[in-house]
Amino acid sequence: MQWFLVFILIGVAGGAGSVMRALLTRFDGWLPYGLFLANSLAAGLVGWLVVGSSLSAGYLTLTTAGFAATVGFAGGLSTFSTAMKASFDFYHRGRLVQSSITMVGNLFIPIGALMLAAVLR
């Protein structure tokens, strides 16, 4: 029965993360700043939670809430497909610099947020 509770928590957390992403992606300008923020917050959350968990026998052990937060909330908050769609939209309009910055930024900025959160933990 515990697995059912975990699935419910992941679904609820994923829905909350998706709604937060939808709200954050409305902040855009020359670049999709809200998308950078959403992906960075999700990566930072994962870095924060994973560093605080323990490794036992080569497996990462998270609490049920931590698992729901990483898989559900961070998974719903972050999105690779929206980042690539934003990059493609810029490319399609002939804005190659914005397309490249969006593509590269959505890769390296969240990695930096993950590393920063891991160091601060």
Task: Give the pLDDT mean for 94-98.
Answer: 96
**Residue 73: which domain range?**
2-120
* Least confident among 15-19, 64-68, 83-87, 113-117: 64-68
Dihedral angle of Cα 5, 51, 22, 37, to the nearest 10 degrees: 170
98 touches 106 (CB < 8 A):
no
Q: Measuring CA to CA, which residue among 30, 56, 45, 39 is closest to residue 107?
A: 39
The tokens describing 90, both together, are 């810029």
34-85 pLDDT per residue, tens: 999 999 999 999 988 888 765 554 555 667 778 888 889 999 999 888 899 9
Treating both helix axes as pointing N-terminal to C-terminal, what angle do 80-92 and 33-52 enclose, rounded to 10 degrees? Answer: 160
DSSP string covering 32-75? -HHHHHHHHHHHHHHHHHHHHSEEETTEEE--HHHHIIIIIIIH
What global pTM score does this model have? Answer: 0.85
21 touches 43 (CB < 8 A):
no
86 touches 98 (CB < 8 A):
no
| Residue pointed to by tokens 């697995």 | 3
State how many domains the chain has.
1
